[in-house]
Structure 1
Amino acid sequence: MSDTKEIDTQELGEKVVRVLKTIYDPEIPVDIYELGLIYDVFVNEDYETKILMTLTTPNCPVAETLPVEVEEKVKTIDMVKDCEVEITFDPPWSQDLMSEEAKLELGLL
């Protein structure tokens, strides 16, 4: 039975990442996952998720709305019972956290 749970939580984690890739920073035409704003996604056996993320700057104009959007979109996944978003600035975001794809999109490569 525990094997099924493990697969389910991993599968759910992948679904969460797919949803995160549909959320964009309004100032940059790249999704928040590829931008490197998502530091970690935790899914427990009760299908509660916790997302540890950052913002490009502490005074980011979407500081109030982006975490709420992340939480609401993740909660739309059928299996997710609850979602908590925690914002951290440690380590601070930098362009080094961006995926190759995001850097290419923004002409940084």
Structure 2
Amino acid sequence: MSERDESAIPAQAPAGTSPGARLARNMMFYTVLRLLMVVALTLIVIGIGRLAGVDVPVLVAAIISVVIALPLSMVLFTRLRAEINSDISAVDANRRVKRDDLHRRMGEA
């Protein structure tokens, strides 16, 4: 790449990872946390059912857990979701810069 081409690319993250790699890592972490929350809530619903003397089917407990986990994860994982949103913005900005650079170079040809 020439000096002119390098100046159009935004600076890399201080940690040395690209925004795309950070986004993938954070999304994977967020997904695993949400799945673990659903599993834990499912076990809690089944346990509460047993304490009350009711046999709660696993599927019913899982559905209840998904309904509970959605708003709960919005509250508990606010910081992680904010990081994901900023990573998405960085990836979009990088794509926009590359697309504009491509359009600029195609116009010069």
**TM-score past 0.5 threshold:** no
TM-score (norm 1): 0.32
**Which structure: greater strand fraction?**
1
* TM-score (norm. length: structure 2): 0.32
Flag the structure with larger Rg.
Answer: 2
Higher RCO (C-alpha 8 Å, min separation 6): 2
